Structure 1
Amino acid sequence: MSKTISIVTPVFNEQDNVVELCSRIATVMTGTGYEYEHILIDNASTDRTLEILRGIAAKDVRVKVIVNTRNFGYIRSSFHAILQASGDAVVLIAADLQDPPEMIPQFIAKWEEGYKTIMAVKPASEESPFMFHLRRLYYRMISRISDVPLVQNATGSGLYDRFIIDVLRKIDDPYPYFRGLVCEVGFKIATVPFHQPRRNRGSSSQNLYLLYDTAMLGVTKHSKVPVRLMTMLGFLVSIVSMAISLGYFGVKLLFWSWFECGLAPILIGISFFGGIQMLFLGLIGEYLGSIQTHVTKMPHVIEAERVNFGSEHL
């Protein structure tokens, strides 16, 4: 009995890309000899994406569509779709074609070698140099402070064995940092490097706020270092402040008549300590927000409709 590969693609306003995406995936998978299903989860697109997907699914039963009631975000939507896959392995691939579907045979080859997790990494990219280097800096930082080794420059695309998916299902994280979560499982990870092309059609839904959200998710989910740095830095600042205060007090006693502290050091001290406090409160807030999201146990998404899932549709 041949194995089945589940391809998972989250989409939002990708009307210019979904036809080519599905066509290229069909061509690639036909060449592999594996059975496959292609699950596309639509995050309440406002363009013609859903209409086009319905047309594709009507002609190809291997194309399955999940329609969300609203935009639940890339993280929750893609993770939910991964958990709905029925294949022996799951391939996560983006809809914007920046992670080319032609990498899938390389993922499968690594899987056949025995790897349970294979991730695409981009040592080079045609995106703006500023964003590329900013991402690299973040990956290096999170790799250094993370409790487990993370794969640097991973895009999230890759292949994940059914065993990995079953483990993730048991973890039941309502808002996971997926690239970190698969590293937490502990199996050796294979990588497939590629040169990421520029996005040719449409515009990315990943604005600065969403990128920040993902970045902070990686920190709060996989590292206690910032919290511990707050404690150590607070202790150090207290000692330095006490030393400076005693120094000023001693100098004032020795040179009472002509030594004046002035307003400058007071204002500088207030601004410095105010900034430190706001930074620490912000970091604590991020951790509390992560805990609050986890304990509320909200579902990843609410589905409005399923297409080509047979008896599983709502």
Structure 2
Amino acid sequence: MKLISVVTGCFNEEDNVEELHSRIRAQFERLPAYDYEHIFIDNASTDATVARIKAMAANDRRVKLIVNARNFGHIRSPMHALLQARGDAVIAMASDLQEPPELIAEFVQKWEQGYRVVAGVRCGVQRTAAMSFVRRAFYTTIGGISETRLIPNFTGFGLYDRSVVEVVRRVDDPYPYFRGLIADIGFDHAEVPFVQPQRARGISKNNFYTLYDMAILGITSHSKLPIRLATMAGFALSALSLLVALGYLVYKLLRWDQFSVGMAPVVIGFFFFASVQLFFIGILGEYIAAIHTQVLRRPLVVEKERVNFDAPTTGA
């Protein structure tokens, strides 16, 4: 029997992990030709998430748990769990029930057709119009400036063949932009559209900083355009400044008595060029920070505890 690994990252999801487990188990009951393991990786939850997963693991040997020593974030932790999976294919999904387990059968079907990557693609999202606009703008922007063709509206939810996981392992990125990394590997992929439901229980762990971090990580990992724009803008603004200076000089020579420059252009020009400099220094800083993260080579996570990893995956 082929083994399918399901990898789920969680942080303070005590109200969702049990339903997620039961829905995933129900899907594999309809796939009797496959065995599976369900790996939860917990980012040092402060609620009863770990206790509930341990209770499920005691009754179902397919359920496995990694508990991190601290919260290592929503980028590093799921990647670590993905690399611990033993399956012939690995399915990655969040624990908030906004990525429906009911797509598992279709993922597996596409995989058996020969696709090494099966991407769950959001064709609709049940959220506010403002947030939908921001997300569309981000995906359009990063898709336009990326040096590789990214999968639109793909967040990492999907199925990955063992060969893909091994390529990701060899990349050994300590802070990966996973959805971009999958596109950069270049295997043919299938897309499975779905409508993302609103969160029914609990609160989202994403905030402005985490969304900004993900956006900047995607840009710095897959595009040199911003840093090149800084160079081109420097040349363009230098040329513009020279033309303005020459224009002022000629006009002053022609209208020596009537033309008074005043302080307003000086002040406006000073703040304009200062703000442009700060903007591009910030972009440069983001690229330097990305390099710094790579150079440190810190582990993805530090584990505090493992449950059921020495157990066979045959069932409860």
- Pairwise same-fold verdict (TM > 0.5): yes
Give 1:267's aligned residue.
Answer: 267
Cα offset, 1:311, TM superposition: 7.9
Q: What is aligned with 2:19? A: 20
Distance 2:285 2:304 in 1: 33
Instruction: Kindly provide the amino acid, as one letter, of the partner of residue 10 in structure 1.
Output: G
Question: Structure 2 counterpart of 1:25, which letter?
Answer: I
Q: Which has the higher contact order (CA 8 A, sep 6+)?
A: 2
Q: Percent identity, please.
A: 52
- Secondary structure in 1 aligned to 2:168? helix
1:99 aligns to what?
A: 99
| Structure 1 stretches lacking a partner, 5+ long | none
CA distance in structure 2 between the partners assigned to 1:128 and 1:72 by the alignment: 29
CA RMSD of aligned residues (A): 1.1
Match of 2:203 in 1: 203
Equivalent residues in 2 for 1:54-93 (5 A)? 54-93=54-93
Please say which of residues 136-145 and 64-73 is displaced more in the overlay. Answer: 136-145
| Cα distance between partner residues in 1 of 2:311 and 2:108 | 29
Contact 1:10 1:41 in 2 (8 A): yes
Shift of 1:133: 1.6
Q: Which aligned segments of 4 or more residues in structure 1 are displaced greater than 3 angstroms?
A: none
Residue matched to 2:142: 142
Secondary structure of the 1:160 match is strand
After superposition, give the CA deviation of every residue in 1:221-266 in whole Å (9 maximum; x if it has no partner). 0011111111111111110111001111111121111211112111
Please give the alpha-carbon distance, in whole angstroms, between the structure 1 residues aligned to 2:188 and 2:269: 49
The separation in 2 between residues aligned to 1:235 and 1:300, in whole angstroms, is 40
By how many angstroms is 1:155 displaced?
2.3
- Contact 1:136-1:152 at 8 Å conserved across structures: no
1:133 matched to 2:136? The reply is no
SS at match of 1:32: coil
Letter in 2 for 1:262: G
User: Would the aligned equivalents of 2:7 and 2:78 in 1 still touch at CA under 8 Å?
Assistant: yes
Distance (whole Å) between structure 1 residues aligned to residue 270 and residue 114 of structure 2: 58
**Structure 1 residue 146, shift from structure 2 partner:** 0.6
Distance 1:86 1:172 in 2: 18
Aligned: 1:250 with 2:250: yes
Long gaps (5+) in structure 2 = none
